[in-house]
Structure 1
Amino acid sequence: MVIDHREIRDRLTSNKIFNAIESHDKNLGTEGIERMYNPNRRDILKAAGALGLTGAAGIGSARQKTGDLRLFSEDAVPGAAEAVTQNGYAYVARNREYGDTAGGMTVVDWRQKGRPTTVAEVDLADALGPNGTYHPKDVKVDGDIAGLANDTEDPGGVAFYDVSDPSSPEFLSFYEPDPPANIHNLFIEGDFAYLTLGEPTNIDTDGDGERDLVRIFGDAGTEIVDISDPANPTHAATWQLKDELPSYAKAGVNPNHDLYVQDGLCYNAFWDAGTIVLDVDDPYDPQFVTQFGAAPEGDTEIRPWNTNEELFGEYYDEVFPTFRYLAPPGNAHYVQPSPDGNYVFVGAETFLGEPGGIDVWDVTDLDNPTQVGRIDPPEVEGFRTSHNFDVTNNRLHTSWYEGGVRVYDITDPSEPEELAAYNPDGYSFWTAVTERGMTIGSAYGGGSDQGGLVFLNNDRGKKRPPAFEGGESPEGPEVEVRDKT
C-alpha cells in the first residue's frame, strides 16, 4: 500500500464515502487536506527518521551469497507500474503519477530479448472519456484477455481488452462494481476476473437514508466477475471480510490489497488481517478456507467515524491507528503460492519501523499453515520494503523499491538464499517477474519521466543502470555488484 501513490487519500476520501470532505476544505484548508490524506513517501521517511522509527533490517533467514544481475536490454515506459509477461510480450500498467503520461497500458514486444520495442499504447481516457480520473496501477493477462484496474472511483473498475493481437489491443468493456469501488489489483484466470475491494461500510443509524457512521475498510473483500463474454462482464459473487471475520472488518486497517488464484484457491493479502484463502472452485460461491499471518492487533476494533459529530480530519487524527497501519507487524501486501501449492510467499509493505520482508508459509495442511522461512529486506540505503514478486519452482524474483531487484534460490523454502541483485542508484522498482530465462523489472526514476522495463540476466549484459529514452543514467554509485564467491 503505497502512501506516495495516494493509497490512503484514494481510499479514505472517495466521493461515495466522505463527500463531506469538500465542505470541510474551508475549515482544514486544501493544503492541510492534501498533507493528511496524501503524505509524500519521502516526507514520511524523513519524519520517521527524525523520530528514530526507520530501523535497519536485521539479518534474515535468507543466506547472503550473491552475485549480480546484468542489464541485458531495456525499454522506456514512462509511468511504469505493474508489469506481466506472456509469450514474449510484456504488458505494463502506465500510471501518470509516476510519469508525465496518460493513465493506460503499454505493450512491449521482447521476443527479441536484446531489442524490446513498444508496439502498443492504450489510454483509459480514449475508452472511457476525457473527464475521468485514471490511475491504473495493475494489469493482468490470461490468454487473449487483459484487464487494467483503475484505482480511483472516477470511475472505479476494470477495463478489459482483447490482446489476441498484442500490437493492437481492442477495448471490450469496463466493469464497475456496485456500489462503485476503486480497484487496486486484480487477477484473471480463465473465464473469471478477481478484484480487490478495500471499501468502507456506510451505516444509516436513524433510517433517514443518509449514512451516519462509517467504518474504514469495513466492506473489504473480493469481487468475482464472469468474463466468459468479456464484452459483457457480469457479477458472479462477492466475499466480504465482515461476513466471516467481523472483528477484522471493524479494525479499520484491513483492505484487500492483492490476490492470486491457483488450483481453485484464491489467496488474498488482507494487510493486518494476514492472508486469507478462499475456495473458488465454484467462482459463484466462494468459501472461506483459512487465515494465517495476521498481526496481533489486526482485529482490534476502532470506533466508526460519526459524520454528524466530527470532521473526518478530527477522526483521522484522534482515532485512526496510523502507526499500526503503516508499521509492522502485519501489512500483508502481496501474496503468491509456489507452483505446487505447498508454500505461500507473503510480502509486507511497511512505511514506519522495520522495512517489510517476505514470509514463507508451509500450507500443505491448510488447517494449520506454518511459517517456515523469511527473507529480510536488503541492507542498503533508501526505501527498501518488499513489493511485488514472482515465484517459480526454485527461484523467487523480487522487487524492493530502492532496494532493487533480487533473485533468491528457494529450492529449500525454509532457507532462501540470495543469488543476485540489480540495484541502480536513482531508481525504484515496482515489480519483478520472470520469463524465458530473464528477470524483468519495472522501474521509475524519482520525480521524473524516467521509467520503463529492464531485462536482466545473470551472465549476459552490462553492469550499468538503465538509460531510458528521454532520460540520462544516474551517476554512481551505479549498480550493486557482489562477488558470487
Structure 2
Amino acid sequence: MTTINRRRVEMAFLLRGALSILLAIALPVWALADHPQVVTDGPDQDAHEHGVLDPNKRPDPELPLIMRDSLSDEFVSSGPNAKVIKNLTPTARGTRLSPDGTTDVWVLGNYAYTGTFDEPCGGAFEAGIWVWDVRNAQKDKNTPVTIIQSPDGSRSNDVKAAAMNSGDILVHSNESCNGGPGGFEIYSVDDPEDPMWLASVQTDDVNAFLRDELGFQDFGVHNLFLFTQGEKDYVAAVVESEFGNFQIFDITIPTAPTLVGWWGAEQLRLAELGLGETDAADLDADDFGIILDLDAYLFDGFGASRNRFLHDVTITEDGQQAYLANWDAGLVLLDISDVTDPRLVSVALDPASEDGEVNSHSVWPSEDGSIVVEGEEDFAPFSTVFSITSGPAAGDYPAVEGDITVPIANLTPPVMEGPTTYAGLACPGDMVPPAPSSDSIALIQRGTCFFSEKIDNAEAAGYTGVVVFNDAARGDELVVMGGDPVNLPGVFVGHSTGLAIAGVASAADLVLGAPGASVKVETIPNGWSGVRIWDYTDPANPVLASTFNTECSANVIGPDCLDGGTYSSHNVIVESTEPDRDGERSVKAYISWYWDGMLVLDVTDPYNPVEIARYSDQSLEFQFENGGNQDIWGVYKTPGKPWVYGSDRNGGLYILKELGQGTLMN
C-alpha cells in the first residue's frame, strides 16, 4: 500500500469512528448505495475494504476500452463492410501503425496534433503528441515532423492547440500509466516543428481537507479546452479528482498558470440537500458526513457505469459558457462569464433515453447555441440477467459481468448455467475443491487476492464459470471485476445473493466444497450508444429533440456488425454552414464512431437528424494498410472548409474531404 493510501485509510478510520453515530442517523442511503465500479481486487485489501473516499477507486476512464482491447486484440474481420455514404473520402493520412496507439486529434493552422494511448507509456520516444505537417492535404502519406514526448510514466490522451493572446499555445493532458504525474503540459507552438515547453501543471482536488489530510493530490487530466475572454487566456481541465472536476486555469502568462475557478457535479447534490450556496471546496472534517454523502452520490448514477464525474467540456467561442459532458449527472451548462465563480444554467438529463445509460461523454453546441449534440459512450452493450434456478431462494438478483471474464454473449449457447459449489476465496495456496461435474460453477467469496487469480484457480479445478460474491464488509455493493483477462465466464453479485446461493444465513455457515443452488446467467443485447440531439432554444430548459444510432450501435448482433467490434459513438464537433442563397444555414455534426468510422449528421432540424456522410472501411485490405481495424477515436473539422480530420487508434491520422450531401444507401 502506498504512503498516501495508508494515510487515507488511517484518517478514514478515525473520522468514521468519530462520526459513526452521525452517519447512522443522517446517511442511511449511503450505506446501501449500489454503484458498480471497475475494481481490481488484490492483496492491498485495507485500501479496498476500508478506504473511504479512496481516489484510486475511481476507475480509469479508458479501462473498459482497455479491457475490450485485451479481448479482441487478435481479432481480424472477415465480415461485410458497413453501409457507406460515399461522400466523405480520404485524401491523405499520417501513418502510425501502432495497435490501440493513437487517441485524440486537433488542428491549428497547417499542423495536426495526435495523442497517445497506453502503449507505449510515457517516456518512450514514440509516446506523446505527434505533430503532422498537413499543408498539403492531398499527399498520400505524411510523417510526423516531431514528437512532443509525454512525461515518464504518463500518457498524453488529449491535446488542444489554439491561437491565444500570448501566441499559439498547445496543451496536452497527463494521465499516469506507469506511476507518472497527472495534470497537463503547456507548450508554445509558434514554431510547430520546434515546440517550446512553457509549464507543467499539477492538478489536485479543490477541497483542502481532502487534499491536505487524505492525500487527494496529483490527479490525472482526461480532457482540456483552450479559450479566451478579452485579453485573458484560459484552459479548462477535466480533472480526475473527487470534487471540482471542472477546473479553470489562467494561462495569460503561460509560464505561470494559476487555478482561478472550478465546479463539480457534487454541487447538484448540495442543492438537493438545501446547501446550494455551499462550495464543496470549503467542506472540512466537521462536514465529513456531507462529504461521504457527496461521495455516494457521485458513484450512484444509472445503468452499468454509474459515476457522475465529468468526462469532457466544450466552451463557446466567446468564452462565456461551458458545456460539460458530466457522465451520469447529464449535460451541464455553466455560465463562466466570471471564471472565478461558474454558475449553473441548466442540466439536460433523460435517463430513459437510449439504452438506460446516461454516460454523457462528449458535447458540442451549434454556433448560436440553439442545438446541442451530446455523445454517449457505452462499453456494456449487453445487460446481465442473473437467476437462482433451484431451492427456496429461486428468483432474479442483481449481477454484473466482469471486464476480465469471457463475455457470456460469446458462449455457445450464450448462457452460463449449472449447479454451484462453494470454493472459498480460491486464492493461490488455497485448496479449491474439484468441480463435481462438467457444468459446475464455482461460488467464490471476494477478498485477499486478485479476481484473475481466483478465476484461474477455479478453471484449474475444472469449473466452467464463476460467481464471485461480495464480502460482509462491503455488503451488496456491485463491482465490475478488473485485472488480467481470464478464460472463464463470470459475474459478481452482492453478499446476500452469495449467501442465498449457498443456502446459509451468514458467512460463518459457509462450508468449503458444499453444493449450492443452480444458477443461470444470460446477457440481453441492449445497444451500444448513439448521440442525443437537444433543443436549447431555451437554454435554461433544454428539450431532448431526438436520438441517433447507427445500425450496429442500435443492434449489437446485427448481421452487418462484426463480432468483437466497438460500435459506440465517441467525440463530436458541430458546425453551422455559411448561409445559402435564401439565407438559410445547415447545422452538421461530425462524429467519430469507433468501428463505424466517421459520420456526418445534418441536425438542422434537431427533431429529425439525417446521416449525410460516412467514411467506413472494414475490409481486409484496409486493415492490412491501416495496421488493424478501422477504429476512429478523434475528430476535428476545419471551420468553413471541407476538411475533416480523424484519428484512427490503429492507423494514425486520416484527412477526409466532404464532397457534398449524398443519399443514404439502404
The normalised TM-score by structure 2 is 0.51
CA contact (8 A) 1:88 1:110 kept: yes
- Alpha-carbon distance in 2 for matches of 1:332, 1:15: 34
Matched, 1:95 2:278: no
Q: 2:595 aligned to 402, 408, 414, which one?
A: 402
- Alpha-carbon distance in 2 for matches of 1:409, 1:98: 38
Note the alpha carbon deviations across 1:382-404, whole angstroms, 9 max, x for none. 21101012111122111111111
- The residue that corresponds to 1:452 in the other structure is 652
- The residue that corresponds to 1:392 in the other structure is 575
The number of residues matched between the two structures is 374
- The residue that corresponds to 1:81 in the other structure is 103
Note the alpha carbon deviations across 1:18-44, whole angstroms, 9 max, x for none. 98799953779xxxx9xx985644379
- The residue that corresponds to 2:545 in the other structure is 372
CA contact (8 A) 1:256 1:271 kept: yes
Identity of aligned residues (%): 27
The one-letter code of the counterpart of 2:632 is: F
- Alpha-carbon distance in 2 for matches of 1:365, 1:483: 32
- The residue that corresponds to 2:606 in the other structure is 413
Note the alpha carbon deviations across 1:398-435, whole angstroms, 9 max, x for none. 11111111112223232121112122221211012222
Taking the TM superposition and a 5 Å limit, the aligned residue runs for 1:85-484 are 85-97=107-119, 102-115=126-139, 116-125=142-151, 132-143=152-163, 144-152=168-176, 154-178=180-204, 179-190=217-228, 191-200=233-242, 219-246=243-270, 250-252=297-299, 253-262=307-316, 263=318, 264-293=320-349, 295=351, 328-353=356-381, 354-379=527-552, 380-381=561-562, 382-393=565-576, 394-425=587-618, 426-435=629-638, 436-445=641-650, 451-459=651-659
CA contact (8 A) 1:65 1:417 kept: no
- The residue that corresponds to 2:505 in the other structure is none
- Alpha-carbon distance in 2 for matches of 1:114, 1:161: 28
CA contact (8 A) 1:147 1:159 kept: yes
- The residue that corresponds to 1:129 in the other structure is none
- Alpha-carbon distance in 2 for matches of 1:162, 1:43: 34
Q: Deviation of residue 177 (structure 1)?
A: 1.6
- CA 1:226–1:422 in structure 2 vs 1: closer, same or farther (change >3 Å)? same
CA contact (8 A) 2:642 2:659 kept: no
Higher alpha-carbon Rg? 2
CA contact (8 A) 1:80 1:93 kept: yes
- Alpha-carbon distance in 2 for matches of 1:67, 1:14: 54
- CA 1:23–1:92 in structure 2 vs 1: closer, same or farther (change >3 Å)? closer
The one-letter code of the counterpart of 2:263 is: W
Q: What's the C-alpha RMSD, in Å, of the aligned pairs?
A: 3.4
Q: Deviation of residue 65 (structure 1)?
A: 9.1
Q: Deviation of residue 294 (structure 1)?
A: 5.0
The one-letter code of the counterpart of 1:114 is: Q
- Alpha-carbon distance in 1 for matches of 2:647, 2:237: 22
- CA 1:378–1:457 in structure 2 vs 1: closer, same or farther (change >3 Å)? farther
CA contact (8 A) 1:273 1:295 kept: no
Richer in strand (by share):
1
The one-letter code of the counterpart of 1:431 is: G
- The residue that corresponds to 2:440 in the other structure is none
The worse-fitting range, judged by mean Cα deviation, of 107-116 and 371-380 is 371-380
Q: What secondary structure sits across from 1:245 in the alignment?
A: helix
The worse-fitting range, judged by mean Cα deviation, of 372-381 and 340-349 is 372-381
CA contact (8 A) 2:265 2:309 kept: no
- Alpha-carbon distance in 2 for matches of 1:377, 1:15: 48
- Alpha-carbon distance in 2 for matches of 1:198, 1:175: 14
Q: Deviation of residue 108 (structure 1)?
A: 1.0
Q: Deviation of residue 257 (structure 1)?
A: 0.3
Note the alpha carbon deviations across 1:9-67, whole angstroms, 9 max, x for none. xxxx9985698799953779xxxx9xx98564437988xxxxxxxxxxxxxxxxx9933
- Alpha-carbon distance in 2 for matches of 1:294, 1:120: 44
Note the alpha carbon deviations across 1:338-360, whole angstroms, 9 max, x for none. 11111111000011132111101
The one-letter code of the counterpart of 2:92 is: S
The one-letter code of the counterpart of 1:439 is: V
CA contact (8 A) 2:115 2:157 kept: yes
The one-letter code of the counterpart of 1:172 is: L
Matched, 1:25 2:36: no
Q: Deviation of residue 118 (structure 1)?
A: 1.9
CA contact (8 A) 1:384 1:402 kept: yes
- CA 1:65–1:149 in structure 2 vs 1: closer, same or farther (change >3 Å)? closer
- The residue that corresponds to 1:302 in the other structure is none
In structure 1, stretches of 5+ residues that fail to align are 1-12, 47-63, 126-131, 201-218, 298-325, 446-450, 461-480
CA contact (8 A) 2:246 2:262 kept: yes
The normalised TM-score by structure 1 is 0.69
Q: Deviation of residue 369 (structure 1)?
A: 0.5
- Alpha-carbon distance in 1 for matches of 2:532, 2:128: 32
CA contact (8 A) 1:96 1:102 kept: no
Q: Deviation of residue 452 (structure 1)?
A: 0.8
- CA 1:105–1:16 in structure 2 vs 1: closer, same or farther (change >3 Å)? farther
- CA 1:147–1:378 in structure 2 vs 1: closer, same or farther (change >3 Å)? farther
The one-letter code of the counterpart of 1:347 is: G
Q: What secondary structure sits across from 1:373 in the alignment?
A: strand
Note the alpha carbon deviations across 1:330-385, whole angstroms, 9 max, x for none. 00000111111111110000111321111011112122100112211343332110
Note the alpha carbon deviations across 1:148-191, whole angstroms, 9 max, x for none. 00123731101000011111111100111233211000101020
- Alpha-carbon distance in 2 for matches of 1:44, 1:331: 22
CA contact (8 A) 2:571 2:591 kept: yes
CA contact (8 A) 2:572 2:590 kept: yes
Q: What secondary structure sits across from 1:387 in the alignment?
A: coil
Q: What secondary structure sits across from 2:43 in the alignment?
A: helix
- CA 1:226–1:294 in structure 2 vs 1: closer, same or farther (change >3 Å)? farther
Note the alpha carbon deviations across 1:215-237, whole angstroms, 9 max, x for none. xxxx2521110100111111111
Q: What secondary structure sits across from 2:362 in the alignment?
A: strand
The one-letter code of the counterpart of 1:25 is: P
The one-letter code of the counterpart of 2:234 is: F
CA contact (8 A) 1:65 1:419 kept: no
The one-letter code of the counterpart of 1:95 is: F
